[in-house]
Copies of this chain bind each other. A is one copy, B any other.
């Protein structure tokens, strides 16, 4: 896999270099000192400026003075930066941040978790082609408007191919990119608040008070020795998926080595093992909830049922509770489940691994279990309503079977109207047919 990525990158780098060449510095700055002074100011005091890396070296020189608005002048960073920063790029593409590169400019979730499966051609290439894939297979992405895709998804999920997702554009100050707050611009929020967890943990507090190096920050554990492979030391998938035993053991060993700088092996082992156990325990609660919902679906109790909903972008009118679950057009219990799985489960075990008891317990474990209670309770209620409906259907059958056929006297006609209404309310009769037949009966009654 590593070899493969290296090869692919070499091809890219070679192609890219031929396209771009030296630029005429004056041409750009003349205008941009007025147009975008902030950019020029930042670049001017950067290591790039110092080393003579000019605008066109990255943006290309194929644009004249009149390149106008909206031209394709955006640097697709990873390709361009890699010409000089090849080692960092190499590491980036191997780790989780770079995975999406192999599935095109789309969500990292598109790829399946194990190293073995990752090696499949279609994970990286368009079918029957050496070109990298460009299509998204993320239902959650596909369910959004283009505007929300841009602002809500791709603002972070550009990491695969954009170095400036972490490294601020034009600035080369490493103090910026090494600061945990930069990681936090994506690794925050209800779905995975790793930044907040760390920041408010003892590790984060000590970092703030005593400075970098005193206690671990994001890089210490996830980019040790400055590697750009951010998967180093992580021993399970993004959602706690199991890694092959040997991969898992090797990565855990790397993490343990970092913990041991300050903590005894026995202390670190208890804490990391607790994280593993809590991930499994929490996952079991999520699985129980999923199985309740699947049960409700089989009994036809979801409101609306998948058949009554707009199509899911990938699976159509079917129930989807797996990685491709979306948050649109769900029934009430599924909405609870979504939060349970995507927010509380993740927070619970990541809270433990980031040594934050408040996240593990009060932002994670408690709402996770409350949500499970709510799903169980709601299932009971939906079944109770269904049971009433079944009894009513049955009782109405008993009743209606026993009734004499229609006559033309007033009592008999009134009874017919009621029977008609019952059939309509039961759903045995369309609105139109009901209205027509009711009108007939009312006419007979002279009303």
**Seed contacts A328-B373, A384-B385; 8 additional CB < 8 Å A-B pairs:** A36-B260, A69-B265, A150-B270, A151-B360, A304-B377, A335-B374, A388-B392, A397-B418
Cβ 8 A contact of A398, one of B355, B356, B422: B422
Complex contact B419–A69 (CB within 8 A): no
In this assembly, does A94 line the interface, its C-beta being within 8 Å of a C-beta of chain B? no
Contacts of A389 in B (CB 8 A): 384, 388
Interface string of A144-163 (1 = CB under 8 A from B): 11011011110110000000
| A interface residues with partner B (beta carbon < 8 Å) | 35-39, 42, 69-70, 73, 144-145, 147-148, 150-153, 155-156, 168, 173, 175-176, 179, 181-182, 184-186, 188-191, 195, 200-202, 205-206, 208-210, 214, 260-266, 270-271, 273-275, 277-278, 281, 303-304, 327-332, 334-335, 338-339, 351-352, 355-363, 365-366, 369-371, 373-374, 376-378, 380-382, 384-385, 387-392, 394-399, 401-403, 411, 414-415, 418-419, 421-422, 425-426
Complex contact B370–A335 (CB within 8 A): yes
Contacts of A426 in B (CB 8 A): 391
29 residue pairs A–B, Cβ–Cβ below 8 Å: A69-B266, A147-B273, A148-B365, A151-B360, A151-B361, A152-B361, A153-B357, A153-B361, A185-B201, A185-B358, A186-B358, A195-B200, A303-B384, A304-B377, A331-B377, A332-B378, A381-B382, A381-B385, A384-B385, A391-B425, A392-B392, A395-B396, A395-B399, A398-B399, A398-B403, A398-B419, A398-B422, A401-B411, A401-B415
Given A281-B145, A396-B395, A422-B398, verify A377-B152 contact (CB < 8 Å).
no
Given A394-B418, A415-B401, verify A373-B190 contact (CB < 8 Å).
no
Which chain B residue has the least Cβ–Cβ distance from A182? Answer: B205
Q: CA of A69 to CA of B395 in the docked complex: distance in angstroms?
A: 71
Complex contact A209–B175 (CB within 8 A): yes
Contacts of A179 in B (CB 8 A): 205, 209
The SS class assigned to the A binding surface is helix
Given A303-B377, A395-B422, verify A147-B278 contact (CB < 8 Å).
yes
Contacts of A366 in B (CB 8 A): 191, 327, 338
